[in-house]
Amino acid sequence: MPLTLKLLVSKPATVAYPAGDGNEFPALRGRIVFDPAKCIGCGACMRDCPTAAIEIEKLPEKKFAAIISNDKCIYCAQCVDSCPKDALQYTPEFELAALTKDAMRIRTAP
């Protein structure tokens, strides 16, 4: 009974989502962004991705594009950790729902 009374007057342990602003966790691993200017095309991100959610395309003039499949990504950020040139970063953006599978595939090119 004492525990019940204590819990009745304490603050809730949960977050008021979606009523809150959604930025309660700034270190959240969310959407992956690609910087084509930094990419050297080594493919380390593709090799280390456990779900094969990243594809690197070679473009003319030693430039590269990335296709990130947000429907496959489990947001483990292994690709971010393995990139030697920091061409991949994660953002705290987590509301990534889309109506079609094609809308979940993001192509980033220079």
- Work out the burial of residue 84: count CB atoms within 10 Å of its CB; fewer than 13 is exposed, 13-18 middle, 19 or more buried: exposed
Q: Residue 80 falls within a domain, yes or no?
A: yes
Tokens coding 66: 């990335």
pLDDT confidence of residue 21: 64
Indicate the Cα dihedral angle 30, 43, 104, 109, nearest 10°. Answer: 100
Overall pTM surpassing 0.85 (yes/no)? no
* Mean pLDDT split into 10-residue runs, the chain, 110 residues: 87 74 73 93 94 94 93 92 93 88 88
What pLDDT score does 28 carry?
82
- What is the predicted pLDDT for the residue at 12? 78
| Domain CATH code at residue 103 | 3.30.70.3270
Residue type, 100: T
* Paired strand residues for 63: 59
Instruction: Provide the number of structural domains found in the chain.
Output: 1
- Residue 6 inside a domain? The answer is no
Please indicate, yes or no, if residue 1 is contained in any of the structural domains: no
